[in-house]
Amino acid sequence: MPHDSENLPLSGLRVVEVSSFVASPLCGLTLAQLGAEVIRVDPLGGAADHTRLPTAGNGTSIYWTGLNRGKQSVACDMRSPEGQRMIQRLITAPGDGGGILVTNAGGRKWLGHDVLERIRPDVITLEILGRRDGTPGVDYTVNAAVGFPFLTGPADYPEPINHTLPAWDIACGFYAAFALTAAVLHRTKTGAGTHITLPLENIALSLAGTLGYLTEVQVNGTERPRTGNDVYGTYGTDFVAADGSRFMIVALTPRHFRGLVAATGTAATVEALESALGADFTQDADRFRYRDVLTALFADWFAQHTADRITSALRECGVLHERYRTFIETSASPDVQDNPLFAELDQAGVGNYLAAGTAALFDNRHLHCGGAPELGQDTTDTLTRVTGVPESEITDLVEAGVLGSAAQG
């Protein structure tokens, strides 16, 4: 159901989401957590992501329910003219906060901005594309095309390695939420709608340029090396403790590096190294250049101490550090169990678990939006309320197979 509170930042907005997978649903989830009414529209039986892994024991997708918390669900045969017209009416229904579409279902003319604009001139549409020319692309193919797999993995490994986090999808989802909010502000000031296209490829290329990966090639003609777990451009790497625990250490500033030297009791040796090498370890470049020598020096101290002793010493000396943990360990840790970011959620088909709210705190509180709906759960109520179409007409379309409802199974 719609948010009841009028105090949430985006309360009063109504967003229709025709989407699947990560970027577009994450945009909708972000807006829902901030108070927007988000209506996800799926084809009958669900989109391609409706049963995506991981799943609960009964087959319910943990992935799908996680990305669609706080939304309403409308199911529709979007190949039928009647279904298309109903979704158009849903998107373009009157009201100051309505007339907003986010989708990654490209190539559907009936969802095009020019078509919707003729029905509601101030409509805002955001279409997430794969590649900038409109051809398909997903996080993993975009990532392959940009270059990051050749920087990921061990320094001496010659083949590309994909990272597991769909970073471009995530960045795209958040950017999409920001772009839609900007368009809403623009409409509030001018009364004009906006047609936004957001290629996933552009997200990756933009950030690769902003962070210097592309710029250094253009300016210097060189490409940064693959460095494994070593942090590029400063000093940071992983160490193994006496009990087998592994730590990630980052000496991002001279102060952090002095703390690491103090914790490991290597001040005299480090000073001698600086003198012998003609190095200045207050400089990022020298800490990075001589990282192998420094790592060999520090590794001996880590190998002689347990994880608890290492944690205590590094914390006392102000060193940026963390012990590597599995998801099982993280889930059981106070970072999850005692963190107000998470709230207990009883999700239909999944069970009880701790679900994250907004990462940001608004007036010292995280915002939570409730669980995900069943597919088609809100078809009749939402379409009747938003479009003004009589319930009897909606019921007839459900019986005709144009619309779907949770009651149909």
Which residues are part of the catalytic machinery?
A: 169
Taking alpha carbons only, the member of 228, 197, 71, 33 closest to residue 125 is 197
d(CA 28, CA 24): 6
Cα–Cα distance measured from residue 404 to residue 396, given in angstroms and rounded to the nearest whole number: 11
Cis peptide bond prior to 54, omega within 30° of 0: yes
DSSP letters, 124-163, are: EEEEEESSTTS----HHHHHHHHTGGGTSS-TT--S----
Phi and psi angles of residue 232, each rounded to the nearest 5 degrees, phi first:
-70, 135
- State which H helix or E strand residue 89 sits in: helix 81-92
Q: What CA–CA distances, in Å, run from 180 to 24, 64, 187, 368?
A: 12, 22, 10, 20
What is the radius of gyration, based on Cα positions, of the chain?
Answer: 26
Residue 47 and residue 67 in contact, taking contact as beta carbons nearer than 8 Å? no
Number of C-beta neighbours around residue 346 at 10 A: 11
**Are the beta carbons of 379 and 394 closer than 8 angstroms?**
yes
Question: CA-CA distance, 321 to 251, in Å (whole number)?
Answer: 9
Number of H helices, E strands in the chain: 17, 12
Which tokens belong to 74? 């409308």
288: left (phi over 0), alpha (psi -120 to 50) or beta: alpha
- Closest to 28 (Cα-Cα) out of 372, 340, 365: 372
DSSP code for 80 = S
